[in-house]
Amino acid sequence: MPLKDPEAKRAYKRAWAIANRERTREASRLAGIRYCKRHPERMRERGRAFDALNREKRRAQRRTNYAANPEKHRARSAKYRADHPEEALKSSRAYHATHRQARLLYSLAYSITHREGRHANDRRRRARKRAATRNDLTAAQWQEIKDAFDNRCAYCHRKMKRLTQDHIEPLGPEGPHTLHNIVPACRSCNSKKGRKAPPCPVQPLLITIAAPKPLKKRKG
């Protein structure tokens, strides 16, 4: 027999929802998905309004989610930039324009704490401007080169704390910015050499893989 009293109907629905909690949640979730698909603009407006009223709460949630899943968020950001290069560029420029002071302070702090990484970025930028065919030298590889030469200049053999990167083949379309085309040099030798051939024979750092030994034939 159907219930006619509104209060009795509401009490019956509440009791049924409590007794079928999981079923009710799944039905609500599916109904919400269908509603979002039918009214995308309305849901975006609601989201913007909620973010405006709960700005700090949403920022805290984003920071927590990013800290828990950094790789996932980096991959998502990289995919968005690859799929929407123009929008990503506009967003980046707008952010830098409105947060200029904060970005300058961040760049300064990064330069102090990541000196070698910043130098490596500057050198790769210079290689891009020179249209180098390969541009993959890392800060770790540069350190490996200096260690292999015992922190000595490849030309005058003086041991120095500060060494510059000299490209055996001048940096450009024929001279890559890569491990096999760079030797350490002091500033004086690097300036004297310029874009000429090395003043003495030099051996760049070569990483070779030993060939597998041939299998011995069994006797008999």
| Angle between helical axes of 85-98 and 100-113 (0-180°, round to 10) | 90
From the CB of residue 91, how many other CB atoms can be counted at a distance below 10 Å? 13
> In degrees rounded to 5, what are phi and psi of residue 165?
-90, 120
Confidence of residue 111 (pLDDT cuts 50, 70, 90): confident
| Residues 65-85 pLDDT 10s | 889 999 999 899 999 999 999
Distance CA 155, CA 145 (A): 14
pLDDT of the residue at 159: 92
Confidence of residue 212 (pLDDT cuts 50, 70, 90): very low
Average pLDDT over every residue of 30-53: 89
pLDDT of the residue at 151: 93
Please give the share of the chain, as a percent, with pLDDT higher than 90.
Answer: 25
Stated length of the chain = 220
**Which fold, 117-193?**
DNA Binding (I), subunit A (1.10.30)
Distances, alpha carbon 175 to alpha carbons 68, 81, 145, 171, in Å: 43, 30, 17, 4
| pTM of this structure | 0.48
- Structural domain boundaries in the chain: 81-113, 117-193
Average pLDDT over every residue of 162-181: 89
pLDDT of the residue at 220: 40
Q: How far is CA 70 from the centre of its chain?
A: 11
pLDDT of the residue at 217: 43
pLDDT of the residue at 21: 86
Distances, alpha carbon 219 to alpha carbons 164, 210, 213, 214, 215, in Å: 57, 27, 18, 15, 12
DSSP 165: E
| Residues 46-56 pLDDT 10s | 888 888 888 88
